[in-house]
Amino acid sequence: MRTLQTQVKLRRLIRSSSEAFSRLRWQPSERRMADAIVDRLLGLAAEVRESWAEDALSGRPGEALRAFVAESLRTAELAITGAAQEGSDLELLRQDFERAALPLEVFLRGLDAEPALQRSA
């Protein structure tokens, strides 16, 4: 299954989220821009979701794989959304985001490697 497009978009989301959580946490003046930052990150997350939908159509992953990706993206989106709430624990939200997004990135890389593994077996 080819997931390179989804991986690229997910990496962009991970990088942008890391920068955003850091800015919001360490630069209090950025808090007033939280809604705009969150909107941008949610837009990137939507691109990841759309890209995965396209990849899933061509690769037809099993239900368990689809569920894992859907739950990971949902958790990442909830963490992003929480950053806009006044008084939110940005470090906890960053951790929640990373616990969802980083394993997803590794998982998608594994899906790309799967055909090569099948050929060598």
- CA dihedral (8, 10, 11, 15) in degrees, to 10, reads 140
72 vs 28, more confident: 72
The pLDDT value recorded for residue 115 is 57
3-class secondary-structure state, position 69: helix
Residue with tokens 């739950």: 71
Mean pLDDT of 66-85: 96
The pLDDT value recorded for residue 117 is 46
User: Residue 75 has which token pair?
Assistant: 């958790």
Split at pLDDT 50, 70, 90, the class of 119 is very low
| Cα–Cα dist 56/70, whole Å | 11
For residue 29, the 8-state DSSP code is G
User: What are the pLDDT digits (tens) for 21-43?
Assistant: 999 988 877 778 899 999 999 99
CATH 1.20.120 fits 4-120, yes or no: yes
pTM: 0.88
